Amino acid sequence: MDTKKALDFETVELDDPNSALVIIDQTLLPNEFTYLHLTTQSEIWEAIYDLKVRGAPAIGIAAAYGAYLGIKGSIAKDFDSFYKEFKTVKDYLASSRPTAVNLFWALDRMDTCVQNNKNKPIAEIKEFLRRESEEIKAEDVWVCKTIGEYGLSLLRPNIGILTHCNAGQLATAKYGTATAPIYLGTEKGYNFKVFADETRPLLQGARLTAFELHKAGVDVTLICDNMAATVMANGWVQAVFVGCDRVAANGDAANKIGTSGVAILAHNYGIPFYVCAPTSTIDMECPTGKDIHIEQRKPEEVSEKWYAKPMAPKGVKIFNPAFDVTESKFISGIITEYGIARHPFKPALEEIFQKKAASKK
Ligand code: MRU
């Protein structure tokens, strides 16, 4: 199958004439492929909280469109009132999920756009916001493709690759981050054998990664999270690629719960473990993984969500962190759109940001 055709869907889109954010309802996949047209702020907030749209870059894009739509109908006559309204919209959307830094990064970009244009008429500021949100999405396509090219340079044909959660097309505007080298390699006939961890409790690996890779004609095998050691011990995995929600300045990386265990296993079996991270996911203000706010989610996601009947005794204590932090010592490289950072990560990441700054001049 032609991967370009298989990836021919939009994860997040702006329908400006109808003032709507258009997303695929990812909670219904793989059984139903349904687009939602969200027009109110509470619909957009809930779509992010409920993981109808999810994955760090896609959350950022959705929030940018949400901020534009939230302020598009403003009847404010002066900048101060307009900016006050904008801040209310921004703060509300920012409260939808805490870990993925792209949410705050995208909203801050929209904020900067408002402030940089404060002397312009309100109608023009709104137009700048629309353009900025479209720019955030367009940039993500380039970012993911470039991460894919750097990632692919580390790989050879016919190898086994393991991934965790969904850092794919469904988590970004296109290509995904961890899946980008897989898609680009598949277009070149690399014939990778991909193992997708199912990703308890919300099954992003089973419902989303297996779905999109299979649709794209990639050789993908779904495994339960607790089978990763077995496929590694069997010698079936030569590299691990994962996405991330926030990378701290020292290279510690927060990603979907279970990622850290995969990294420790990869270390044990001598398998390189790569984190694919757009620079929008790297938070140099955050010194280490210990400073990353980890989202705690509802206990029912563990005990009942995907079952016909509850699968845990009523009233039992449940711990449900959505993410964990992989210590940088288990990470072989952090693949960004400005190159691959390696140990020691702090100066390497600083250099990545210097390259980014230089490219903007
Ligand atoms: O809770 P989710 O589904 O939003 O978690 C997603 C992940 O952890 C992804 O791996 C991460 O956001 C990177 S997406 C390119």
How confident is the prediction along the chain (361 residues), in pLDDT tens digits per residue? 577 677 889 999 999 999 999 999 999 999 999 999 999 999 999 999 999 999 999 999 999 999 999 999 999 999 999 999 999 999 999 999 999 999 999 999 999 999 999 999 999 999 999 999 999 999 999 999 999 999 999 999 999 999 999 999 999 999 999 999 999 999 999 999 999 999 999 999 999 999 999 999 999 999 999 999 999 999 999 999 999 999 999 999 999 999 999 999 999 999 999 999 999 999 999 999 999 999 999 999 999 999 999 999 999 999 999 999 999 999 999 999 999 999 999 999 999 999 999 998 7
Assign residue 14 a region (left: φ > 0; alpha: ψ between -120 and 50; beta: otherwise): beta
244 lines ligand 1 (CB under 6 A): yes
Task: Check for a shared fold between 3-143 and 155-359.
Answer: no
Protein residue with its CA nearest to atom 8 in ligand 1: 256
Residues 6+ apart with CB under 8 A from 33: 9, 24
Q: Does domain 3-143 have CATH number 1.10.3720.10?
A: no
CA 161 to chain centre: 19
Where exactly are the structural domains of the chain? 3-143, 155-359
- What spacing in Å lies between the alpha carbon of 117 and ligand 1's midpoint? 33
- What CA–CA distance (Å, rounded) separates 27 from 312? 22
Burial 23-39 (b: 16+ CB within 10 A, else e): bbbbbebeeeeeebebe
Task: Judge whether 270 and 198 are in contact, CB under 8 Å.
Answer: no
- What spacing in Å lies between the alpha carbon of 53 and ligand 1's midpoint? 10
Please give the positions annotated as active site.
245
- What spacing in Å lies between the alpha carbon of 79 and ligand 1's midpoint? 36
Angstrom CA distances, 243 to 20, 34, 69, 108, 255, stand at 28, 25, 28, 22, 7
Task: Judge whether 200 and 258 are in contact, CB under 8 Å.
Answer: yes
172 lines ligand 1 (CB under 6 A): yes
337 lines ligand 1 (CB under 6 A): no
243 lines ligand 1 (CB under 6 A): yes
- CATH architecture, domain 155-359: 3-Layer(aba) Sandwich (3.40)
* Ligand 1 atom at minimum distance from 59 CA: 4
- What CA–CA distance (Å, rounded) separates 309 from 311? 6
